[in-house]
Homo-oligomer: A and B are copies of this chain.
Amino acid sequence: MEHWDHWPPAYDDEYLPDPGQPYWFPQRETMDPELRDAAILRRIQSVMRYAAAHAPFYQRKWAAAGISPEDIRSLDDFEHVPVVTKEELRRAQAERPPFGDYLCVPKSEVMRVHGTSGTTGRPTAFGVGRADWRRIAEAHARVMWGMGIRPGMRVFIGSVFSLYMGSWATLAGAERIRAQAFPFGAGVAGQTSRAVDWLLQMRPEALYGTPSYALRIAEVAEERGIDPREFGIQILFFSGEPGASIPSIRKKIEDAFGGRVFDSGSMAEMTPWGHLSESTGHTGMLCWQDIVYTEVCDPATKRRVPFGAEGSPVYTHLERNSQPMIRLLSGDLTRWEAAPSPCGRTYPVLPNGIYGRIDDQFTVRGENIYPSAINDIISNLAGYGGEHRIVVSREDTMDRLVVQVEHFSSDLAGDGDGVSSFRQLAKDRLRATLGVSTEVVVVPHNTFERSDTKTHRVIDERELFREIAGQQ
């Protein structure tokens, strides 16, 4: 396997594949999965020995579980290594500020600080070592290569440059691949209209951001009478929210811009988060297992579910030595398959991407509801105005599910019939898929705020009720 003999791996920053070659590392990407798994096992053993030697955090955790790196003789054995939770990381940093006792390199080796952007509680700081930063760049260059990005292409990065790791790893990857990076950012007042100007002026081949923000850019362009296809963008790649794997949203973005959509991304803690990335095969996100080892697990047992089944991903860094995550619990929800990808890569596939959270999922009258399922139905309706909200409330002991959905017209009074059949169709489809009856309220276009970053569509008023009750 290319340059994979030593751990931590070191790559040649000058290496570039031939532009006609579809793979960055042909052998690693297309090898027999069983041989790859054998190599991954050896790598896991190295990472665990390294973590045990450098991180009191893992020493404590594994000692308490009665496990040592030597016990891991198979990938099945590895399933017994206890998972790491975000809460544990937060606690470790509070006790050993600022990076926690899972920092495995001297503080002088840390070249970058980023962190979680949570607005409540102590945020978690990421301390990224110098060598890790190069490996992050290498990994992101690899997956961007898999999307068809090549040296010299212009890559417009339309996402916030702050704590958010999405922007930074994309920038590092774009630089490594010898693309022309245009780190424009997002989130500042008035910036979207300027983004439209710059896209027209610079005509980048590729755009990175969140799906909501790409749609926002398209909307602002159209308001100004500009067809987003004029930008000439061929590759639109996304992370940060599940939208890019939802067929209706993907179609809407591809129709608006005239380019191809690629979904990617796992968690900021797992940077290079691009280890989950779609390729030109377009069969879903691939799990680039030789960058980060993904196990889709039963949320209860934390053991792998078979291919074809749904579960929550658990991630293990195979190439990072500053704050290596070993079996980090994501809390996300996905389904994986062993189906080969038309691109020739032999990685497991997530055909529907990451489509929910174990904890996002809410229950209405005993039925499990995933917001992504509602998003999918609603945004596929002809006449959909671009945004919606899901409001869950409780009247006495009865749950009430209301979907407030924008119609494309800005004045509903003049379109009585169209609106009522739109409402009825939404109601029917939601009931058929969710199994519970749903109220649908149609509102005019542009009722809801558009977001530059993640859009929070679920308003669960029952939680508020519980919180107030708890305070009394």
- Residues of chain A at the chain B interface (Cβ within 8 Å): 97-98, 107-108, 110-115, 117, 119, 122-123, 125, 127, 130, 151-152, 154, 160-163, 168, 175, 178-185, 187-191, 194, 197-198, 201-203
Contacts and interface: CB of A to CB of B under 8 A. Distances in A.
Given A108-B152, A152-B108, A184 B202 contact: no
Contacts of A154: 113
Given A112-B181, A112-B182, 16 more contacts: A98-B201, A107-B152, A111-B175, A113-B180, A113-B181, A113-B182, A117-B194, A119-B190, A123-B198, A125-B201, A161-B161, A161-B162, A162-B185, A163-B184, A187-B188, A189-B189
B122 A201 contact: yes
Contacts of A203: 98
Contacts of A189: 187, 189
Contacts of A178: 108, 111, 130
Contact of A97 (B180, B181, B188, B201): B201
Nearest to A184: B162
A66 B335 CA distance: 71
Contacts of A97: 201
Nearest to A190: B119
Contacts of A182: 112-114
Contacts of A201: 97-98, 122-123, 125
A108 B151 CA distance: 8
Contacts of A108: 151-152, 178
21 contacts: A97-B201, A98-B203, A108-B152, A110-B180, A111-B179, A111-B180, A112-B183, A113-B180, A113-B182, A113-B202, A115-B198, A117-B194, A119-B190, A122-B201, A123-B197, A125-B202, A127-B180, A160-B185, A160-B188, A162-B183, A189-B189
Contacts of A197: 123
Contacts of A119: 190, 194
A472 B112 CA distance: 56
A15 to B, nearest CB: 15
Contacts of A194: 117, 119
A200 to B, nearest CB: 10
